[in-house]
Structure 1
């Protein structure tokens, strides 16, 4: 379980994404065959690519900041640090387009913040295959998201 403590949304999101994705400095095929490197980075990756841990950390930070920006732009309601971190981790994994088209975002923007958090466990399939790693990740993202409800310090 992710324990946010007093961390900012960025620290929580970086920790969550890095923990879920794991660091691999040599490109590999993910569970559904997508070439991947570093902390789940897929853009333009080819099998045989390599990266240093420092390059991977920079990619992770850049990507998390971009996905958080996208989440903030799409959310019509203020988010707690925990909600923003959970949705950023989710968007990092499924992409901004999927987040934008999701029932989760519709519920969030309608003011059903709890209902939005509870949508996360539905996203456990990749190419029609239920992945145990996604089940675990979504449960942790949901718990993180719900832990931020009622927090008065919004991060948008």
Structure 2
């Protein structure tokens, strides 16, 4: 696949992931503590956030775009099999939520790279806990990510 084709494909997947993340994270312009006590702002961003911080809608949108490109690059570096745009978007959203290292060490990634796509996608519903507490929002998010992941 050419670099141009990969960039166009990645752009489509990032656009899909942007809608997914924005929907599940929601926009919060003032920093807040997430369910496990991590300072968070905008669409779930946790990098260099402190309570009392404020960002405009435009700043939040730019931050989301920038961060999703980073997460997309991370997904591309470790996934060794071809992916349809919806699956790629689901994995970008998932990685944005759980972190790059958690994705790299996951059974989901091992199964995906071994060619067990269905088994990999079926790992997503296991990731619905935050510090041992099952969160309804994560249940809904993982089901949507799983649905997209299973599209061939």
Stretches of 4+ aligned residues off by more than 4 angstroms: none
Match of 1:141 in 2: 145
Map 1:53-72 → 2, pairs under 5 A: 53-72=57-76
Match of 2:4 in 1: none
Q: CA deviation at 1:44?
A: 1.6
**Mapped partners of 1:123, 1:73: distance in 2:** 21
Taking CA–CA contacts closer than 8 Å with sequence separation of 6 or more, which of the two structures ends up with the larger relative contact order? Answer: 1
Q: CA deviation at 1:127?
A: 1.0
Which has more helix, going by share of residues? 2
TM-score (structure 2 length as normaliser): 0.91
Whether 2:105 is the aligned partner of 1:101: answer yes
* RMSD of Structure 2 on Structure 1 (CA): 1.0
The equivalent position to 1:29 in structure 2, one of 33, 42, 47, is 33
**Mapped partners of 2:149, 2:134: distance in 1:** 22
Any idea what the Cα deviations from partners look like across 1:72-129, whole Å, max 9, x if unmatched?
Answer: 1100101110110000000000000000000000000000111111100000001111
Indicate the SS of the match to 2:48.
Answer: coil
Match of 1:84 in 2: 88
**Mapped partners of 1:8, 1:88: distance in 2:** 12
TM-score (structure 1 length as normaliser): 0.89
Number of matched residues? 142
Whether 2:128 is the aligned partner of 1:124: answer yes
Indicate the SS of the match to 2:29.
Answer: strand
User: Contact conserved, 2:14 with 2:92, CA < 8 A, in 1?
Assistant: no
Mind listing any 5+ residue stretches in structure 2 that lack a counterpart?
A: 1-10
**Mapped partners of 2:111, 2:12: distance in 1:** 24
